Amino acid sequence: MKNKIKKYAAIGTIAIMGLLLANTAVEKTVTLISDTDTSCVTVYSGGEKTVGRCDNEYKLAEKYETDAEIYEDIQDNQFSTPIIETMINDGYLLGYVDQLKAEGWIPQDFTPAGSKPSSTAQTETKAEPPADNQASSSETKEQPKTETKTETKTETKAEPTQEEIDAAWEETERTEATCTEDGKIVYTNSITGDTKEESIPAAGHDYEVTETADATCTEDGTNTYTCKVCGDTYEEAIPATGHTEGEWKVTKEAGLFSTGSKEVTCEKCGEVLDAEEIPQTCPLPLAVVIGVVVAVVVIIGAIVVLVRRRKNI
Ligand SMILES: [Zn+2]
Ligand SMILES: [Zn+2]
């Protein structure tokens, strides 16, 4: 039994060892491949680097790498002098021209073709070295970097089109109109910063009758109007209606020798509007009647006296 276990253990270890060996072999091949990749040797002739191992791929570098990364690639011997010059002429690495000259990657008399920003950067940096010469080599290294950066910034700032400006108006302030005063809306253009105003016309009051004091026969009444929106009020007079005459009414019947009375009042408020006297029913005044009676009695008495005297004779 024990032997069997030992056997298996031995087989196991051998298998593991085999695997490990295979692994290192793979690693070795990998390093080999990468070695061949890096083994593209740069050939020096007459101070220039005539062959770079990634010369064929410089277009990719232009497309996908920043100037700083391409510069690192150059330090890594990936590009030859003609290719570096081509890339500069394509408009890349313009900020590194002086550095590359100082380090001998491109000849001192090399001038980038075309592209304005490079020429200005060059003339400026070229003017400096003679004054301070080699002591200021670190300065000249850094200067072009910042210059090219600001230049590209101004170039990418495209002028906004009129359509974009027209679409950039936004409402930034609003004052609502009241019943009596106009409101306004302020629009600000987010691109140009200009402002413009639009007025909102005043709506006017919206009145309703909220209180009524009725007019009487003799006194005016009032309607009170209140604005539903702002509460402003005003009063409007209701003219007095005036009395309405009713029918004449007898207040005291006339007697044979006494007068009566009658009056007319307002149907609504009962005020006596007019009163009149009713004459006595007998057409002759009382004194006249008494006078007549007295006269008749006197005449009868006289006749009686005269008749008695004639009988005595
Ligand atoms: Zn109002
Ligand atoms: Zn009345």
What confidence tens digit (pLDDT) does each residue in 189-226 have?
999 999 999 999 999 999 999 999 999 999 999 999 99
Q: Is the pLDDT of residue 12 over 80?
A: no
Q: Is the pLDDT of residue 132 over 50?
A: no
For residue 175, the tally of other CB atoms under 10 A from its CB is 14
Burial of residue 38 (CB within 10 Å: 0-12, 13-18, 19+) is exposed
Phi/psi at 50 (5° precision):
-85, -25
**Helix ranges, the chain (H):** 2-38, 58-64, 67-75, 81-89, 97-102, 116-127, 129-132, 137-156, 162-166, 286-312
DSSP string, 17-29: HHHHHHHHHHHHH
| Nearest ligand (C-alpha, residue 268) | 2
Among 125-134, 210-219, 269-278, which is the least confidently predicted range? 125-134
pLDDT attached to residue 6: 52
C-alpha separations of 242 from 131, 216, 269 in Å: 115, 8, 10
C-alpha span between 283 and 279 (Å, rounded): 9
Q: How far is the CA of 236 from the centre of ligand 2 (A)?
A: 22
| Nearest ligand (C-alpha, residue 178) | 1
Q: pLDDT-based confidence at 8, cuts 50/70/90?
A: low
ipTM: 0.89
Q: How far is the CA of 119 from the centre of ligand 1 (A)?
A: 72
Spatial CA neighbour of 37 closest among 76, 70, 68: 76
Q: How far is the CA of 244 from the centre of ligand 2 (A)?
A: 6
| Nearest ligand (C-alpha, residue 177) | 1
Q: How far is the CA of 269 from the centre of ligand 2 (A)?
A: 4
Q: Is the pLDDT of residue 233 over 60?
A: yes
**Helix ranges, 194-271 (H):** none
Q: How far is the CA of 233 from the centre of ligand 1 (A)?
A: 8
Q: How far is the CA of 178 from the centre of ligand 1 (A)?
A: 7
Q: How far is the CA of 270 from the centre of ligand 2 (A)?
A: 6
Among 30-39, 129-138, 148-157, which is the least confidently predicted range? 30-39
Burial of residue 159 (CB within 10 Å: 0-12, 13-18, 19+) is exposed
| Nearest ligand (C-alpha, residue 269) | 2
Q: How far is the CA of 229 from the centre of ligand 1 (A)?
A: 5
